[in-house]
Amino acid sequence: MLFQLSFPLSQEPGSVRFATLLPWLSFVFSRLLYLGSTLAESILVSRSLLPSFTSLRLFDILFARMKPSLIVHGGAWDIPDEAVEACHAGCRRALEAGWAILSRDGSALDAVEAAIIVLEDEPVFDAGYGSHLNLDGRVECDAIIMNGANLRAGAAAGLQRVKNPIRLARKILENCPHMMLVADGAERFATKHGLDLCDPEDLICEAEREAWRRCSQDKHAVAHHRGHEQDTVGAVALDREGRLFAGTSTGGTCCKLPGRVGDSPLIGCGCYADSEAGGVSCTGYGEAIMKVVMAKMAADFLRVSPSQHDCPAPQKPSASAKSSAPEKPRVSIHLGSDLESETHHTEHHPYGAPFEPCGPNFHAMLAARETVHLLAKRTHATGGLILLDREGNPGFAFNTPRMAYGYVDTDGTLMTWV
């Protein structure tokens, strides 16, 4: 990079105008500082002495770069106790894969793709390998990835021979004049752009084949499917350059009709990203999520000025006050009187860090909760979502018994919840 810049010397020998050199010197200085801060951080990390305020953060602040942020999910469903560990481990590996990219100044696009590939490869989740089977006993996958900067998405549906559907979604995002391809056309596009097609059998795990057999002999029942009907995986990332991407991938619902496409690959339904608002990935019953255009709804809640949703400023004591009871926060997002019973957002996380009331992600949490509240209110269905607001603050909500998800804190601490 340095060597491609033309050195701005004056024509007169020996005379160099300081003003002309200033941007150049500042560039060299910034790179040296970055190098020094990265080295210092490596030393601190290797000695396990990394403080929450690292030299790298100082660099970010000095040069107005974004804090990278990553949130992932492995679906909102009735996760049985015996699957909890696998869900934690899957989310953790996805966070590690994405964070390895973001923490080295990589792009949010790479991070979302890497995280979702891990989730697709983990058979406990309904995406890629281990997806639910359709009525014909075949896997049909859908995926989408969306760029918050230009609102462009790449989506694919009805895939039977693509091992990692999110890879194809990215190829479509980057190389296709259209934003969504399905079935055979999508698979032809995959081959043309360097993705190998797999044997459809390679996507089927034994547990799902067994569930499908039991449904075929009896009738479709949740009990045959490890207690769940649908779920999905997803990730949202913000990188240091401020690029925001969201992605979602799914095997859809179990015993679905061949050709059925749910919410996941549909822009605004299973996924949405807008750098002016935030990025969202949804999970749950697709036919209901489509009705409320759930991911876009969450992004619209994020778009509303945070100042309208902030905690109120502390009230000055009033001499005329008759009661010492604190005033209710003036939150203009409607929480709904029945929300607490509908939405399992506090049960496992009693507002522990990083999800503090009135903390930096208060607005993100309200947006997530309100969206799930409206899904339940308008469709009586279940689901959940993860999101990052435009600053990278995380939010999540679900009204299923459990959701598998994880987040990387700003100091690089990985956290997962089920």
Binding residues vs ligand GLY (CB under 6 A): 230, 232, 250, 252-253, 262-264, 283-286
Active site residue 379: no
Q: What would the two tokens of residue 408 be?
A: 């990387």
Pairing of strands 180-182, 394-398: unpaired
Looking at the DSSP assignment, which residues form a beta bridge with residue 76?
403
Helix (H) or strand (E) holding 233: strand 233-238
Contact 226, 205 (CB under 8 A): no
- Kindly report the number of other CB atoms within 10 A of residue 331's CB atom: 16
- Report whether 286 contacts 310 (CB < 8 A): no
Asked whether the beta carbons of 396 and 368 are under 8 A apart, the reply is yes
- Using the minimum distance from each CB to ligand GLY, give the nearer residue, 253 or 361: 253
DSSP-H helix ranges across 218-316: 286-292, 294-303
In the complex, the smallest distance separating the C-beta of residue 387 from ligand GLY, rounded to whole angstroms, is: 16
Nearer to ligand GLY, 145 or 408 (CB): 145
**Residues 46 and 354 sit within 8 Å (Cβ to Cβ):** no
* CA-derived radius of gyration, the chain: 24
Phi (first) and psi of residue 294, to 5 degrees: -65, -45
Residue number, 158 or 262, with CB nearest to ligand GLY = 262
In the bound complex, what is the minimum distance in angstroms from residue 240's beta carbon to ligand GLY? 31
Q: How far is the CB of 384 from ligand GLY (least distance, A)?
A: 10
Tokens 């899957």 found at: 90
Task: Please tell me which residue in 20, 38, 232, 416 is annotated as part of the active site.
Answer: 232
Contact 132, 232 (CB under 8 A): no
Nearer to ligand GLY, 54 or 230 (CB): 230
Nearer to ligand GLY among residue 263 and residue 342 (C-beta): 263
Q: What minimum distance in Å lies between the beta carbon of 323 and ligand GLY?
A: 47
Question: CB of residue 232 vs ligand GLY: minimum separation in angstroms?
Answer: 4
Q: DSSP H helical segments within 253-293, as ranges?
A: 286-292
CB of 286 to ligand GLY, least distance (A): 2
Nearer to ligand GLY by Cβ, of 69 and 232: the residue is 232
**Is the CB of residue 139 less than 8 Å from the CB of residue 251?**
yes
Q: Looking at the annotation, which residues are catalytic?
A: 232
